[in-house]
Structure 1
Amino acid sequence: MGRWWAAPASNPISSNWCVLRQRSKVELPEGLTAQEMAALDEYLHRLRQEYGDQVVRVVLFGSRARGDAGPRSDTDLLVVVKTDARRTHRPIEQLGTEIALRYGLTLSELIIGPKRYQKLQRYRPPFYKRIEAEGIDLWTRTPAS
């Protein structure tokens, strides 16, 4: 299967998004299993198909991003959405649960809206600093979209 990468926004498959695909610029950590890569790929594909207009950014962070995950480590994802409304967050959480159950992994989504994201950017707590330092952008909406 080859290595997986986070694709540039110029990827012809998804002109306004960065998504997991082969042949790109940002390499994902060696420690991800084929099952984890498949789960992330399906999660991002379905997220784009079902909620793409609501999602701004998806970041892999934590031990999976650092490449030091153990067999019981979860897969941490920061999902930034356009609204603070919980009704937008719940379906995305349900998608994560569905993918986690299908692939037999623990997917931990931190879904935040613009107000909380702006607070994190402004106050830069240690948790946010770690996400920014170690995180891998899997999906970023380009300014044009």
Structure 2
Amino acid sequence: MRRMSVERSATIEQIVREFHQRVEQALGTPVKVVLFGSRARGEATEGSDIDVLVVVPVLDARVEDLIGDLAWEVGLNAGVVLAVVPVAQDELKVLSQSPFFQAVQREGIPL
């Protein structure tokens, strides 16, 4: 399997930034977006998805659906899969004790 090139890395960052902007525009509020997983670790291959943590002020079904729809649209236009994990800001403290969120904190790249 091939690793992601530096040029492709810049493209991934552009895709995540576009997604980030579209989420903020749709919600009308700032959100935090963190790239994690194989793309953040530099271990991605050509078929790897793009793992993104999205921290929003309030997470309800409408916001979760909106984030999922935007991830689908941006990913479809870019020819990649955006795998998003939406989380409410007030849940971060509790979730930060889980191995998953500890890994995101270690390897994640805020964008």
With the shorter chain as reference, the TM-score category is 0.7 to 0.9
**Percentage of identical aligned residues:** 36
2 CA distance for matches of 1:132 and 1:32?
Answer: 23
Higher helix proportion, which one?
Answer: 2
Q: Which amino acid aligns with 1:57?
A: K
Is 1:41 the counterpart of 2:17 in the alignment?
yes
> What's the Cα RMSD here?
2.0
Question: 5+ unaligned residues in a row in structure 1: which ranges?
Answer: 1-28, 139-145
- TM normalised by structure 1 equals 0.65
Determine which structure has more spread, i.e. the larger CA radius of gyration: 1
1 CA distance for matches of 2:66 and 2:18?
Answer: 15
Q: Which amino acid aligns with 1:43?
A: F
Cα deviation 1:78-105 (Å, max 9, x = unaligned)? 0011113111121111011000100110
Against the structure 1 CA distance between its residues 114 and 44, is the aligned structure 2 distance closer, same or farther, given a 3 Å change threshold? closer
Structure 1 consecutive aligned stretches of length 4 or more whose deviation exceeds 6 Å: none
- TM normalised by structure 2 equals 0.83
2 CA distance for matches of 1:66 and 1:80?
Answer: 20
Cα deviation 1:35-81 (Å, max 9, x = unaligned)? 4233223212222322241x431100001001110112110000011
> Secondary structure of 2:31's partner?
strand
Q: Which has the higher contact order (CA 8 A, sep 6+)?
A: 2
Indicate the residue corresponding to 1:11 in structure 2. none
Q: Specify which of 79, 87, 110 is matched with residue 112 of structure 1.
A: 87
Is 1:81 the counterpart of 2:56 in the alignment?
yes
